[in-house]
């Protein structure tokens, strides 16, 4: 792995484990056993490192949140979305923890984020419509945009909410899965009778994962 990529990966690791605001370029250089000068050869400052991480984040979102295929199983549509959410939260949790502050100090990054945000809103809207067409949920079409925004808010601010409402909240798999159970709870009032049992099964799966239990990997039926 080239030094530039090592710096990016080490920065993600440190930002996630210690919090972005607590990590300096000197910390990153020390972690990699390289000189600060070597780091500055590749990146002018920490903000530039964060911009490169954000590019990786954007690529990750594009790949993880694949378009829904017309022939795709309804429950698979939902579980694919939830698993993609978990993956994004897991790999880039520092962004979700400190997003408003990071964006406020870098207008260029804020512009990039808004582009990703708009694309994600389109994908979430498409997800909801696909579940509606498949008969999984029954919702007034006029409420879909608002519902998509509520889901996006729940995902985006789950980590920062936990960190501000709990002492020494540890961002681990269980905390992230707890967030997914909250997303499923948002769907609950709209789930049709036909799919109620299937959605309940998925909810129980994520509740077990949130409790640290092991679950069998099964294809949705």
Supply the pTM of this predicted model.
0.85
106: Cβ–Cβ under 8 A, 6 or more apart, which residues?
47, 50, 51
Specify if 217 maps to a domain: no
Mean pLDDT of the chain: 91
* Cα(200)–Cα(195) distance, integer angstroms: 8
* Cα(112)–Cα(119) distance, integer angstroms: 11
pLDDT at 138 over 70: yes
Tell which wins on pLDDT, 41 or 170.
41
Specify if 35 maps to a domain: yes
Residues 53 and 35 in one domain: no
What pLDDT score does 113 carry? 92
Residues 8 and 98 in one domain: no
Residues 180 and 116 in one domain: yes
pLDDT at 219 over 80: no
Indicate which CATH number applies to the domain containing 183: 1.10.357.10
Domain encompassing residue 15: 1-44
What pLDDT score does 217 carry? 58
User: With bands split at pLDDT 50, 70 and 90, how would you rate the model's confidence at 198?
Assistant: very high
Tell which wins on pLDDT, 88 or 72.
88
Indicate which CATH number applies to the domain containing 10: 1.10.10.60
Specify if 219 maps to a domain: no
85-109 pLDDT, tens digit each: 999 999 999 999 989 999 999 999 9
Residues 90 and 198 in one domain: yes
For residues 137 and 198, the answer to whether their CB atoms sit within 8 Å is no
What pLDDT score does 66 carry? 73
What pLDDT score does 220 carry? 42
Kindly state the tokens that stand for 23: 């990590």
For residues 190 and 180, the answer to whether their CB atoms sit within 8 Å is no
What pLDDT score does 221 carry? 41
What pLDDT score does 15 carry? 96
User: With bands split at pLDDT 50, 70 and 90, how would you rate the model's confidence at 218?
Assistant: low
Give the mean pLDDT of 180-190.
95
Tally of domains in the chain: 2
């Amino acid at each position: 792995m080239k030094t530039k990529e090592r710096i990016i990966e080490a920065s993600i690791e440190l930002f996630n484990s210690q919090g972005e605001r607590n990590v300096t370029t000197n910390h990153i250089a020390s972690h990699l056993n390289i000189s600060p000068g070597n780091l500055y050869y590749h990146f002018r400052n920490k903000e530039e490192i964060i911009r490169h991480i954000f590019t990786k984040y954007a690529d990750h979102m594009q790949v993880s949140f694949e378009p829904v295929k017309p022939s795709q199983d309804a429950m698979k549509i939902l579980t694919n979305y939830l698993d993609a959410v978990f993956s994004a939260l897991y790999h880039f949790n520092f962004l979700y923890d400190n997003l408003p502050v990071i964006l406020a100090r870098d207008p260029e990054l804020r512009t990039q984020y808004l582009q990703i945000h708009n694309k994600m809103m389109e994908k979430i809207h498409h997800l909801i419509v696909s579940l509606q067409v498949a008969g999984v949920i029954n919702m007034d079409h006029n409420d879909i945009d608002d519902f998509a925004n509520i889901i996006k808010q729940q995902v985006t601010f789950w980590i920062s909410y936990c960190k501000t409402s709990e002492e020494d909240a540890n961002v681990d798999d269980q905390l992230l899965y707890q967030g997914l159970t909250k997303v499923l709870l948002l769907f609950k009032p709209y789930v049709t009778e036909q799919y109620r049992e299937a959605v309940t099964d998925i909810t129980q799966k994520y509740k077990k994962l949130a409790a640290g239990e092991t679950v069998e990997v099964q294809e949705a039926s």
